[in-house]
Every structure is written in structure tokens, then in C-alpha cells.
Structure 1
Amino acid sequence: MRQDDAQAAAGRTVDTFLIGGSAGAFNVVKEIVHALPEDFGAAVFVVLHTGSADLPRAHEIIGFRSAIRTRLAEDGQPIEKGTVTFAAPDRHLLLGRGHIHLARGPRENLFRPAIDPLFRSAAVYKRSQAVGIVLTGMLDDGAAGLRQLRRSGGLAIVQDPKEAPFPSMPAEALKAVEEAEVLTGEKIAARMIELAGSPAPQEGEVTEQVELELMIADLEANTMANAERMGELTPYNCPDCNGVLWEIKDGPVVRYRCHTGHAYSRLALNEAQEEALERSLYESLRAHRGRISVIRRMLNDMTNDEGDAKKRLEERAKSYEEDARAIEMIIRKRADAV
């Protein structure tokens, strides 16, 4: 008997679906959930990149009039077939041994909840019984996690980038997992129904790194020594905490982590650095304007008897004003380039 036949005989079936999406994914998830029957033979978990205040509302709107049961994730909930569980605000959604775990670990790819931690947890605890699905969205959250899930034996489905409103996320997922099944949004639910309860494929490997990164998402292993074990030190700083970053290479997927646990893909790191640079420019402009204001007030209070000191302060004020104008020009040029 082949190994996959033996697994099927042992009762291992596809029983877990993981859906991740960002910009434009709300309507796709709604379409998928509304197409699933009440007796759907698997558990479904959804991470959407939306504002924290919008997550419960998204769950309620998508769950309205759906045949399958929907719920917002709570720590310790059992994993239940025939249920769609949506990630809660400001918490990573992780799978454990038969239960759900919510963790306020470091942000990954600029988000919490992020898609990669969910996929990674399934790679450890569900392996070939899980199917990862990446939908429309910006940047590339989910690509690294989908690759890790696929390595452990799980299946991969990616929304066709050609029809995705925002093709970056599914396109990057396909670069990470070239063999992923590519489907239009309207066909994903039908494929999920076909796969649910089918014999699970042969299990793959779960590397030490995947397990370590899962612990980091749960705030259990955020140390400099563990970061060194995962990659090579870079000259880059973490945009979130200013710590050093280590580069992690996994085939075509290149990522970065700091020792406090913040994680970035290359696209996410570029975006975060761009935001950090903009913040620093505005902070510098504010500081210059503050210095100019203080110096001008000092000049107003000075007498003509303080001629030399007054002249030096006037020159300093003019210098700050020139610097402020230069910073303003940089900000305008950056805005025009977007």
C-alpha cells in the first residue's frame, strides 16, 4: 500500500482551509462563504487586512445570510468543521492542537493579524490536511507562509492575478509556490467543496525554523540568538523598533526579522522604510520650524545693545529657514512622485 493510501485508510483527510486576503478581498471572501453549505466538512479560517475596528463588522456582514456558521475568533476556541472563523482585531490567529490561539505577537508584513502566522501554524499542526488560499491584495503577506505550508504537505490555491483587483499578493504567492492551483474567485468555493473530506496528501517536512517563527508570533522565542539562527545579519534597521534585521532566504522568498520578532517581506520592508522616511522628514520639518519660532521670539526680546548676539541669532534663524524650505521641497517632490 502506498503511503498516501495508508494515510487515507488511517482517516487523514483535508479538513482545514486557510484564507488570506487584503485590498479587494472582502467581496471575494463573502462570495466564498455564501457558497459553502451548512454541512461543509472542514474548518475555515480567514485573515483579512482591514482596520481593527472593521474586523468584527466584516465578520458580521459576511456571516449575514450565510448557510455555514461564522464566528469571530476567541482564544481557546475548538477547531470545528462547518465553521468559518475570522481573525480578531490586533491578534495573530494561530492554530494549535485542536484549538485556536490568539497572540499579540510582533507585527508581520506591517499587519497584526497577518496571514503568514496562520499559514505557518497550519504547517506545524495540520500539515497535509490544510489548504492555504491567497486572494487579492497589495504587497505579499501570505507568500512565505504558503510556501512553508506547501513544504509540510498542504495544498495551495491562489486567486488568478489577472482577475484580482490588486494582483500583487496572489502574484507573489505564485512566485513562492509555482505549483499552486490558480482559480478565479468564483471557482474557489467549488474547489473547497471538492477537497473537503478528500484523502490528505503525503505529509512533508516541518523545519525547525518554521516552528521557531511560530513561537515568535506567540511571543515565546524573541531573542537575538534565535534571530541569528534563522538568517544573516544585515545593515538594515527594523522600521518598528529600530533593531537590527536578519535576512532569511527560502528559495525565491527573501524576508527579514529583528530580534524582537517584527517580520517583513522585501516589499513590506520597502513600504515600511518609505513610511519611516516620510515620518522623519515631517519630524525634521517640525523641529526646524520650532527652532525658528524660538529664535524669532528671542530676537524680538533683544535690545539694540546686543547687536553682535542679535546678528548671530538672525543668521541662525535664516539658516534654519533655508533648511526648512529644502525639506519642504523634498516632501513635495516625494508627493509628486507617488
Structure 2
Amino acid sequence: MDSETTIIVIGASAGGVEALRTIVAALPADLDAAVFVTLHIGAHRSDLPWLLARAGNLPAKHPRDDEPIVKGNIYVAPPDHHMLIEAGNIRLTKGPRENWARPAIDPMFRSAAQAFGRSVIGVILTGGLNDGTAGLFEVKTHGGFAIVQDPAEATASNMPQSALENVDVDHVLTAARIGQCLKELAAKQHAPDALENVSALVAPEEMDMDAQFTLNKPVAVTCPDCGGALRRSQLGSLMQFSCHIGHVYTMEVMLAAQFLAVERFVEQAMRSLSERAELCGIMAEKLPALQENDAERQLWVAARKEAFDQNAFLRTMLTREWIHPARRGAIEMSHGV
């Protein structure tokens, strides 16, 4: 496929189905572009291709791995797979989650920018936290065009607002206007001028790991997914963390992920203390009812009480109201569509 082929990449999360249906309804059957969509669906079965095909004039599908790119088609990232865009085909991978998502928006945007450069139009729609911001930054870095849904219209304004704060966005539009804008840009065979004085950024999974983990200043945090050391990088004003495995987080997602990791570890400690209390109780009961065993039995009873007391302390810590100053909102859970 020609590198000048217009590639439209659209990322959405909470509330994204209706916005996508509105956009697709405005696209003509002879659209001179290929459209790629990633919605946060996790591993859930998805009916999104069927919904988008019914909403507009273009066929929509989950692509196969290594499927050729054909203009006039809508390709939807399948459940539990990142969708990557190469020069002439589509690659599906179960690579590491990014911003706690698979499929994630950033890998799709990043791969499209690297393969098609100035021929890419990136669109960020409604969603929580900020997956897609780093990818849209890459689109602009490689000379592409950036469109963001008006946060005032979005069901969840975090994703579009983050894109506006960190990327030099070309248009801020309602979903209805985005569809019309994409139609016009594709008809004009849109090719924006490449940005000057901006170096292309390397995808985290493609970085030389020796250089990445020896030249950068270390940060005292570990990956919430695998426990590996994290390195910090900067995409304009957006900060990212990545590990050896390839998990990637923005600062906002990292804060949320780290807090859930704390909860998980506290819950594991609570389970271990409950098990200790149970075992101490069994030890106290199994001692023969002899006078010489009373002191030992009381020690096991005391140990059981100690475990219960410490468990109660952890439960208080787990259920208290913690301060969450970040305004990006709570972690968004994926739902099948």
C-alpha cells in the first residue's frame, strides 16, 4: 500500500460506541482512506464491527493478523489484541498492556505514524484517563493531523482533555463534525506539512534496552503488572513509564495502577494473616488437655489473637478514604461491546 494512502486512526473508551456510530454515519461508501478503531474492550467479546457496519456505509470487521490494508474498510481492534499498522498490512499482537489496556490506543497510533507519517489522521474520542495522548503526539511528530472530540460533549472528558493539554491539536469538534471533517480531509487527499525540528520518537518496545536502562536516570518505582524496574521518558509535556517487558503507563495511569497494586498487596497480607490465625487456632486445639501444655496452648491462642488484630489494622487501612489529588478520575473498567 502507498505511503501516501490516508490512514484514519480513532481511539475511544467510555462512551465511545455512540460517538463512533455518529462519526461512521457521516463517512461515504467511497471513502478514500482506511479507518482503524481501537475501543477499550479488554478480552470481552465485541460486536462493535457489526454496530459500526449498521451505522454507516462502510464495511467493518476485526482483521486477521497480516491482513492487507484496503481503502474503504473499517478495521476494529479485536478483543485482547493490540492492532498495529504496517506499510501494507495489519498486525495483531498480544503484546504487553499499555496504560492497563489491550487493545490499547497508543500502539495503534504509534505504529500508524511510523508507517504512514504525514498521511495519518488521528482522532481521540471520549474516555477516562489518557490512553491515546502519547499516540496522538507521535502522529503529530511524524507530520500527521490531530482531531479531538470536544470534551464538553464527551461522556468521559479525560482522554480528549489530556490530548488537548499535551498535543498541538488541529481541530476540536463534536462527533458529528468529526465525521464530516474526516470525509472532507480524505476527499482532499489530506497530506499535512511535516512538523519541523521534531525528532521521531522510538516506540518503547523497539528501544535498545541496554541503552534505555543504562543512560536514563532510574526512578524508584516498579511495574504494577510485572514488578520490573521502570524507566521514565518524556513525550512533549507527557510523562511515560515503561519496563523491560514492554508495559507502558502515562503518569496518571501509573498513579492509579500503583494504588491498586497497594490494595492488592494489602489484601494478600490480610489473607496470609487470616491463614496464620486459623493455623494457630488448630495448633492450640491439637495439644492434649494436660496441665503442662497450658502455657504453650496460651501462646498459640495469643498468636491467633495477634494475627486477628493485625488483620483488623490492615482492613482499616484498606477501607479508609485515601487522598486522590489527580483530576483524571477513577480507573475505568473495560466492558464488552
Between 1 and 2, higher relative CO (CA 8 Å, sep ≥ 6) is seen in 2
Equivalent residue for 2:299, pick from 312, 326, 330 = 312
- Spell out the pairing of 1:312-331 with structure 2 (5 A cutoff): 312-331=299-318
Amino acid corresponding to residue 20 of structure 1 in structure 2: G
SS at the partner of 2:294?
helix
- 1:165 deviation in Å? 1.0
Partner of 1:150: 140
2: CA distance between counterparts of 1:113 and 1:28? 18
Q: Please say if 1:41 is aligned against 2:32.
A: yes
Q: Please say if 1:117 is aligned against 2:107.
A: yes
The 3 A distance-change label for structure 1 pair 208 and 251 is closer
Partner of 2:333: none
| 8 A contact 2:42–2:101 mirrored in 1 | no
Q: Please say if 1:291 is aligned against 2:259.
A: no
Amino acid corresponding to residue 280 of structure 1 in structure 2: F
Partner of 1:166: 156
The 3 A distance-change label for structure 1 pair 230 and 158 is farther
- Spell out the pairing of 1:98-137 with structure 2 (5 A cutoff): 98-137=88-127
- Spell out the pairing of 1:177-326 with structure 2 (5 A cutoff): 177-198=167-188, 199-204=190-195, 207=199, 209-210=201-202, 212-213=203-204, 216=205, 221=206, 224-228=209-213, 231-302=216-287, 303-304=289-290, 305-326=292-313
What number of residue pairs does the alignment pair up? 320
2: CA distance between counterparts of 1:336 and 1:149? 35
Query: Bigger CA drift: 29-38 or 134-143?
Result: 29-38
Aligned-residue CA RMSD (Å) = 2.2
Unaligned runs of 5+ in 2: 325-329, 331-337
Amino acid corresponding to residue 25 of structure 1 in structure 2: G
Q: Answer 1 or 2: which has greater helix percent.
A: 1
1: CA distance between counterparts of 2:100 and 2:135? 15
- 1:335 deviation in Å? 8.3
| 8 A contact 1:222–1:260 mirrored in 2 | no
TM-score when normalising by structure 2: 0.89
Instruction: Among all aligned residue pairs of Structure 1 and Structure 2, give the percentage whose two residues are the same amino acid.
Output: 33
The 3 A distance-change label for structure 1 pair 243 and 195 is same
Query: Bigger CA drift: 170-179 or 142-151?
Result: 170-179
Partner of 2:50: 60
| 8 A contact 2:3–2:116 mirrored in 1 | no
The 3 A distance-change label for structure 1 pair 14 and 224 is closer
The 3 A distance-change label for structure 1 pair 230 and 146 is farther
TM-score when normalising by structure 1: 0.89
The 3 A distance-change label for structure 1 pair 65 and 115 is closer
Provide Cα deviations, 1:251-272, integer angstroms capped at 9, x if missing partner. Answer: 2100000111110001111111
Unaligned runs of 5+ in 1: 1-10
